Structure 1
Amino acid sequence: MRSDKEMEWKTLETKYLFKRNWLTAKVEKVELPDGRIYDEYYTLEYPTWINVIAITKDGKMILERQWRHGLKIVSTEIPAGVVEKGENPMDAAKRELQEETGFGGGTWTQFLVTAPNPSVMNNLCYTYLAEGVELVSDTHLDATEDLEVFFRDKDEVYEMLRSGQFCQALMLAPLWKFFATRT
C-alpha cells in the first residue's frame, strides 16, 4: 500500500474563477503521482458547516422544514448552518440552533464529522448532539431563511428517516448514526 504522501497530487497552477463569502471556485493544473497532468481540475471552497441533532428536555427532537432552491423542494432537516470566520464549530452550532429555533442550553457533544464531497470541495461538516435543550429566546433568522420549526418523538423521526422523508446527505449520516448507536 502506498503512503498518503506517495498518493498526493501536486498543484502546478491555481486560478480563482470567483470568490464569495459562501463559495469560491478555482481551477488548478495538477500533476498526479504517475506524472499525468490535468490542466483543468475544478474545486469549490466553502466555509465549515454544522448540523445539530437537538433533543428538548421533554425528549422531543427539533426539526425544520424549508425551501431548498437547488432542488426546488421543501426539505425536512435538522438545524444547520455555517461557521463564521474566526468562530469554532461548536459555538457556531449553538448560535445557529438558537437563531433558527430559539432553543439553547443543554449538554453538547461533538457527534460526527463528515466531508461533504472531498473530491471537489474543501470543507467539513460538524454534527453536534445537543441534549436537554430548552426555549431561551425568540428566533433570529438570516435574510434568506424562511423555515418552520417542529418537534417529533424519536420513534417518529426514526420512521421519517426510514420512509425517506429526509434527503440531505449531510443530515442523513448523523441521523442514521444516532439511531444506530443511541436507541
Structure 2
Amino acid sequence: MSRKTLPEILAKQTVAKSRLFAIEALDLRFSNGEERTYERMRPSGRHAVMIVPVTAQGDLLLVREYAAGTERYELGFPKGLIDEGESALDAANRELKEEIGFGANNIVPLKEVVLAPSYFSSKMTLYVAQDLYPEQLQGDEPEPLELVRWPLAQAEELLTHLDFCEARSITALMFALRYLKP
C-alpha cells in the first residue's frame, strides 16, 4: 500500500458558525498540483466515549434517548463527551453513572472510531463495561433516559430493531460481541 503525501493546506477560514458548531473551509493543494476547497466541522479537540454495559445476569443495558437529527427516540448505548482534564476511562464510568445509574469495576477499550472523517475529526472510544454496581450521577439530559435491558443471548436481534440504527452503537455492539465471545 503506497503512502501519499498529505495535501498542503493553503488557507483555513470559518465560513459558518452556530452556538454548537463551526464550519471551516480548507483550501488544499494536492501533490499533483490540483487545488480544491473542502468544508468540515472545525475540530474542537474534544473526543467522546460509548460504553456497552453488560450485567452479571447477562443483559445489555441501553438507553432510549431523543435524537434531534432523526426527530425521534433512538435506542443506543450510553455515550458522551470527555470533559476537560478527564481521561476517556473516567468519562466512560461517569457517563454510565449519569445515563444508566451504574458504575463499572471493569471497563475495557474495544476500538477508537471516527464518524464521517471527511467532515469530522472527533474520535470516540468504544468500551465494554462489566462488574456493574449501582451509582447515580446527575446528567445533562433534558429528561430522564429510558433504561432498556436486552438479553446478551439475543444481541444480534438488536441489529434488526427499528430504533437501534446509530452506526456507532452498531459498531460498539459488534466489537463487544467479539470481545465477549467465549
Structure 1, unmatched stretches of 5+, are none
Which of 35, 38, 55 aligns to 1:41? It is 38
Amino acid at match of 1:2: S
Length, aligned pairs only = 179
Give, in angstroms, the shift of residue 156 of structure 1: 3.2
Structure 2, unmatched stretches of 5+, are none
Name the CA distance, whole Å, in 1 between partners of 2:90 and 2:16. Answer: 29
Amino acid at match of 2:177: F
Superposed CA deviations along residues 110-149 of structure 1, whole A, max 9, x for unmatched, are 1111111111111111011111112123x41215454211
TM-score, with structure 2 as normaliser: 0.87
Name the CA distance, whole Å, in 1 between partners of 2:143 and 2:40. Answer: 27
Q: Does residue 174 of structure 1 match 2:163?
A: no
Secondary structure at the aligned position of 1:106 is classed as strand
Change in CA separation of 1:163 and 1:68 when aligned onto 2, cut-off 3 Å: closer
TM-score, with structure 1 as normaliser: 0.87
Which of 11, 19, 28 aligns to 2:26? It is 28
Name the CA distance, whole Å, in 2 between partners of 1:177 and 1:143. Answer: 27
Mapping of 1:15-94 within 5 angstroms? 15-17=13-15, 22-38=20-36, 40-44=37-41, 45-46=43-44, 47-94=46-93
Amino acid at match of 1:158: E
Name the CA distance, whole Å, in 1 between partners of 2:79 and 2:62. Answer: 10
Give, in angstroms, the shift of residue 91 of structure 1: 1.1
Amino acid at match of 1:14: K
Give, in angstroms, the shift of residue 104 of structure 1: 0.5
Q: Percent identity?
A: 22
Superposed CA deviations along residues 48-103 of structure 1, whole A, max 9, x for unmatched, are 12100011233221110011111112100010111122322111111111111110
